[in-house]
């Protein structure tokens, strides 16, 4: 076990200690152990006091920073990220002035357990559209279950970089560390645009079409916002997650995880910030704090599907399709709907009879 000591810049004899089993822990490992949402680590006392130039959370203390694990005092200095504290305080103030319907939490509680899959209409501008093909790529994962090795997740986020979408994909288990690094190198300065996300998933699952659907909440009307959000979460299977996102009033965009937990509750996981909003009230608070103007979600559909009903991709915890199978005689990446296989069998039995 390594004892990593971080020094207080205002009292150099005071330390915060992290007890870690890793041979070469990262900065993020230390911060997760210390469990302070605004804590950052710095290379010197002045930077810690002024909250500037924090260490990269992905940096390994011994390998990358050249710091001897035997004694890290006055080599790792801790400080509070006051800028982030201010941002969160402003979000709480915005929440107190929110125009989001107060009854969203009650509606979710009353309606969310009802049978999902009903068609609904959304009003965009002066036109009204029927959302016949609605729903996204679903991945099996319970965001509330943290006591399983499957859910032990190390946030790869690099402070100051626009890597929210890669963080979401990484949290969902859709990409590994190497794929995150590739996306980070390509998009960390600009962020991923909708077409970038669609192209990325098409490259991973070539027999499916992907589209980042968007809904403008300001054009739906205040009374219908809560119903729209409820219907959106109904497209997610219990114990599964989906790729989603928001656009705020200031036009900034942010990738997040939409989820329905194993106990049938809605949830949002802000993977970049490593924050979980795990019930109707907290989800309402998230939308209000961020002053959400538009919502988007990743929709998937089997490329050979000719019906009006969406044939979306559903993945298990190992990223294997749950509702599609792979014929052994064909290429390993060619997926066919399971229900088509069942129908074909039943037809053949009928003919034989």
pLDDT tens, position by position, 201-227: 999 988 888 999 888 888 877 667 778
| pLDDT at residue 353 is higher than 70 | no
Q: What separation in angstroms does the CA of 25 have from each of 88, 146, 170, 171?
A: 29, 21, 20, 20
Rounded mean pLDDT, 85-112? 54
Judged by DSSP in three states, 321 sits in strand
What is the pLDDT at residue 117?
38
Q: Helices 104-111 & 280-289, crossing angle to 10 degrees?
A: 140
What is the pLDDT at residue 130?
39
Beta bridge partners of 255: 245
| pLDDT at residue 171 is higher than 90 | yes
What is the pLDDT at residue 107?
46
What is the pLDDT at residue 336?
57
List the Cα angle 185/270/108 in 5-degree steps.
150
Rg of the Cα trace of the chain? 23
Phi-psi region for residue 310, left (φ > 0), alpha (ψ -120 to 50) or beta? beta
Residue matched to tokens 């049978």: 115
Residues 6+ apart with CB under 8 A from 63: 24
Beta bridge partners of 79: 40
Judged by DSSP in three states, 211 sits in strand
DSSP secondary structure string, 2-60? EEEEEEETTEEEEEEEEEE--SS-BHHHHHHHHT-TTEEEESSHHHHHHT-SPPPTT-B
| pLDDT at residue 110 is higher than 60 | no
Cα 295 from Cα 91, distance rounded (Å)? 18
What is the pLDDT at residue 114?
41
What tokens were used for 351?
């003919």
What is the pLDDT at residue 109?
43
Cα 171 from Cα 44, distance rounded (Å)? 32
Say if CB 144 and CB 278 are below 8 A apart: yes
Neighbours of 44 (CB within 10 A): 12
Cα 254 from Cα 246, distance rounded (Å)? 5
| pLDDT at residue 116 is higher than 60 | no
Q: How much of the chain exceeds pLDDT 70, in percent?
A: 74
Closest CA to 146 of 296, 274, 318: 274
pLDDT tens, residue by residue, 55-69: 988 889 888 998 888
Closest CA to 261 of 250, 245, 277, 247: 277
E strand or H helix at 185, and its extent? helix 177-187
Q: Of how many residues is the chain composed?
A: 353
pLDDT tens, residue by residue, 321-331: 876 655 444 44
What is the pLDDT at residue 93?
62
Cα 30 from Cα 33, distance rounded (Å)? 5
What is the pLDDT at residue 321?
81
Cα 251 from Cα 248, distance rounded (Å)? 5
Q: What separation in angstroms does the CA of 7 have from each of 10, 16, 25, 42?
A: 9, 7, 17, 10
**pLDDT band per the 50, 70, 90 thresholds, residue 38:** confident
Cα of 214 vs its chain's centroid, Å: 17
């Amino acid at each position: 076990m390594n004892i990593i000591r971080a020094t207080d810049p205002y009292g150099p004899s005071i330390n915060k200690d992290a007890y870690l089993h890793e041979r070469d822990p990262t900065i993020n490992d230390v911060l997760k152990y210390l469990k302070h949402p605004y804590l950052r680590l710095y290379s010197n006392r002045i930077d810690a006091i002024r909250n500037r130039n924090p260490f990269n959370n992905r940096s390994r203390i011994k390998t990358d920073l050249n710091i001897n694990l035997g004694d890290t005092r006055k080599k790792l200095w801790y400080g509070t990220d006051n800028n982030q504290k201010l941002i969160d305080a402003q979000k709480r103030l915005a929440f107190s002035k929110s125009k989001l319907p107060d009854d969203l939490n009650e509606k979710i509680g009353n309606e969310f357990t009802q049978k999902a899959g009903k068609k609904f209409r959304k009003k965009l501008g002066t036109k009204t559209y029927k959302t016949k093909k609605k729903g996204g790529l679903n991945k099996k994962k319970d965001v509330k279950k943290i006591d399983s090795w499957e859910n032990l997740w190390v946030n790869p986020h690099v402070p100051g970089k626009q890597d929210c979408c890669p963080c979401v994909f990484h949290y969902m288990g859709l990409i590994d560390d190497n794929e995150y690094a590739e996306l980070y190198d390509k998009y960390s300065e600009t962020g991923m645009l909708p077409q970038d996300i669609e192209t990325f998933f098409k490259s991973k699952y070539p027999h499916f079409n992907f589209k980042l659907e968007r809904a403008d909440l300001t054009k739906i009307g205040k009374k219908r916002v809560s119903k729209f959000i409820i219907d959106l979460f109904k497209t997610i299977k219990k114990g599964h997650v989906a790729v989603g996102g928001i656009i705020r009033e200031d036009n900034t965009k942010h990738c997040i995880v939409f989820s329905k937990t194993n106990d049938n509750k809605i949830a949002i996981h802000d993977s970049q910030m490593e924050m979980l909003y795990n019930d109707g009230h907290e989800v309402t608070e998230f939308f209000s704090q961020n002053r959400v103007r538009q919502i988007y979600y990743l929709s998937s559909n089997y490329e050979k599907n000719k019906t009006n009903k969406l044939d979306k991709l559903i993945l298990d915890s190992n990223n294997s399709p749950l509702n599609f199978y792979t014929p052994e005689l064909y290429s390993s990446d060619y997926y066919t709907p399971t229900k088509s296989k069942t129908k074909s069998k039943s037809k053949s039995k009928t003919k034989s009879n």
